[in-house]
Every structure is written in C-alpha cells, then in structure tokens.
Amino acid sequence: MLIFICPALIDLIGFVAIFAVSYGAGERGMTMMQVAWLQGLFQIAYMVTSLAAGFVLNRGNARIILFASIVVALVSVAACLLITVFLPLIVAMLVFGVCFAFFFNSFQTFMRGEAPPGSLVRTTALYTLAWSAGSSFGLQVAGSLYRQGALVLVAATVAVGLVVIGILMYHSPRSLEDPSADDQHDAADVDAIVRRRYVWIAWIIIFTTMFVQRPIFSFFPTLSARAGVHPALASLPLCLHMLCQGLFGLAIAWFPRWLYRRWPLVAFQSVAAILFLVIWLAPGFGIAATLISLLGIWSGFAYFMAVYYASNAGNRSRNVGVNEFLVGLGSSAGIFTMEWAMGRNTAAPAAGQNGGDPGSLYLVCALALIVATIVQILTAGRDGRRGFDSHRRESV
C-alpha cells in the first residue's frame, strides 16, 4: 500500500534531525547533560502529546490531523537543523516532538481504518518495515550530508515532506462505512482475557525497548563525534540497526505462532541482553558497531509485538496512544538514566578524548532487558501459557 511510504519518509526526516542535533552537539562541545536535555525534552513532548492524542483520535479525524502535523513538523525540523544555540534548540525540539507524536498516533489510526478486517498482522508488519526503513535511511542521509551544511539538510527534508503530502492527497481513503481492522479483532481464537493481558505486555515491551534503544541513538553520535569518527561512519551501525529492525519486523508476519507466546519474548530479550553485555565487556567501536547493527533483529521483534498487541484489543486508539506515551516516557527515562550511569565525567573532554563512560550505558541496557523479561513472564500469568498455547494460529 502506497500510504506505508508516509511513515517511512516522516521517520527519515525525524532521524535526520535527531542525528544532526546529537552529532552537532558533540562537535560544538556541549556536555552530555545538554545532549540529554535536547533529546529527553523531545521525548517528553512526544510522550505528553501521545497520551492526549490517544483520547481524541478517531477514524474520522485522523487524515486531517496527519496533514497538519506534517506541515508544522517541516517547519520545526528546519529550525532544529539551523539553530546552534542550546535554549532555542530545545524549543525547536519540543515543537518537533509534538508534531511527531500527532503524526504517528494519527497514522496508526488511519492505517487500521484503511486495512480490511483480518489483515492486522500484515498491516503491522508493513508498518514496522516502513518506519524502521525510514529511520535507517534518515540516519545515513544525515551522516552523508552532514558535512554539506544545514541548508542542504533542510532542503532534503522539505522535499521529502512534500512527497508525503502528495501521497496523502493522492490516496483515496476507504469509506467510513466500510468494515476495517479498526472494527474487528484479529486472531479471534485468542480470548479477550489473553488479549487484554498482552496489551499490558505490549506497554512493557515498548517502554523497555525505548529505554534501551533511544539512549544509544542519542549518545552514540555524540561520543563518535568526540572521538573524531566521521559522521557517515558514526551513522552506519545505527542505520543497519534500523534496517535489520524493519526487515525482521516484516518477517514476523510469516511466524504467526510467535504471537501471544511467552517463549519468544524470553528468547529475543535474553539474547539482546547478552549482546549488550558483550559490548560492555569488550569495548571498542568495531564490536559496538557490529552488535548494535545485529540488535536490530531484537528491536524489530519488540516493535512488531508492541504495536500488534496494543492494536488488537479494546480501545485501539487509546491503547496505541498509551504505547506512544510510553515511547516518550521510556526514551526520556532511558536518556537521563544512561547519562547518570555514565558517571560524572560528562563535561566536554580535551580534543581527541572520549567523555563519559559508554560502557556503563550498555550494562544498564542489559540489566533493563533482564528485569523487563521477568516482569513480562509474571504479567502473562501462571495459567497464561495454558490459555494460549492450546490455540492454533492461522497462517498469514
């Protein structure tokens, strides 16, 4: 479906701004605390806006909110790329966070309304691929064009935004009277109790994933800039991470028996925790870059499950609104926690030296995944496995 290009392109724009702001902060000698505030307040704005959006969005108003959020987002992204002073940059990031939240909440409502009943697995897989691929290419675009100057980045993002607006104008939406994935539950052989329980698990997944992933995307470019790593090389592992995330998120559509099971959660999160421990025990750009890339497989699984479980029970727009609220909460909590964990040595270092203790970041990531896995097992309940392992899943 052509509309799935829209989240890809919007995330491309978003990650151009996120990477450029973070890498530029490292070049200009900002402290790690300043980087934390820039990225953390963006996530707080996203969090608060998402919670509100989840209660006001519906199939009827989602499309017009999409258009409005894109237009204002383009203006705020341009400001983020052009401003180099800390306080005005914070304001631009706050506005950008509000627009980003409205776009992704309204798009998910719009997406479910455009999907026919019974297609939620496929729709979620395409959505995961779309926004992840957009993030991936956005990081690489930012890394490749960063040295060309802010005006070039602004021109590229505006051009991409205009394409998104054109796609939405070209798309003919389904009638509000037509049945859609927003009206019916997918996988009817799983009872309502299990679906409700897994909405809570979706919220734990999304919080933990953002708590772990966002600090890496926030601090890795800054630390790379301080170490003298070229921006294109610094963005490459993050780009590959998001590409793996999108491709694996799409592949999950071919493994429907993984849905509503505890063992995939345990397996994927445990392996991810082990990889973070390896990075902590064997520091170095090569190892970190390789394993961060491979960890996209874990995050692809996590994002698919979080979106699917939240979209397949109860009030979907509210559930997804809470999901996106937790995106902001997990991101901001992770950013400030990791900044604290990296220790007091966060002031701008001497030329050629690396500030902070990035090893602590990866250790906290591993511990967070271990704790989250235990909480998810407990949330599933003692009889949860018996309740859903007896159900047969239909193939996609």
Model confidence pLDDT, tens digit, residues 22-64: 888 878 888 878 888 888 888 889 888 887 887 787 777 878 8
Lowest mean pLDDT of 81-95, 120-134, 357-371, name the range.
Answer: 120-134
- Residue 90: pLDDT band (50, 70, 90) is very high
Q: Are 106 and 10 in contact (CB under 8 A)?
A: no
Whole-number Å distance between alpha carbons of 171 and 11:
20
260-280 mean pLDDT = 92
Selected residue with higher pLDDT from 124 and 132: 132
Please give the pLDDT value at position 28: 82
Lowest-pLDDT choice from 116-120, 153-157, 267-271: 116-120
Q: Work out the percent of the chain whose per-residue pLDDT is above 70.
A: 84
Give the Å distances, CA to CA, from 243 to 133, 236, 249, 336.
5, 10, 10, 26
Instruction: State percent of the chain over pLDDT 90.
Output: 24
Give residue 155's pLDDT.
93
Q: What is the reported pLDDT for 391?
A: 37
Q: What is the DSSP string of 212-227?
A: HHHHHHHHHHHHHHHT
Closest CA to 363 of 258, 161, 212, 177: 212
Lowest-pLDDT range of 271-275, 334-338, 392-396: 392-396
pLDDT, greater one: 114 or 182: 114
pTM metric for this prediction: 0.75
Q: Higher model confidence: residue 388 or residue 176?
A: 176
pLDDT-derived band at 187 (thresholds 50, 70, 90) equals low
Q: In the prediction, which pLDDT does 234 show? A: 83
Domains and CATH numbers, the chain: 2-172+185-389 (1.20.1250.20)
Is residue 176 scored above 50 in pLDDT?
yes
Distances (CA, A) of 168 to 14, 70, 89: 18, 11, 30
Ranking 75-79, 137-141, 267-271, 332-336 by mean pLDDT, the lowest is 137-141
Lowest mean pLDDT among 75-84, 98-107, 218-227, 241-250: 218-227
**Mean per-residue pLDDT of the chain:** 81
Total count of residues recorded for the chain:
396
- What are the CA-CA distances from residue 214 to residues 154, 221, 258 (Å)? 23, 12, 26
Confidence band of 384 (pLDDT split at 50, 70, 90): very low
pLDDT at 57: 77
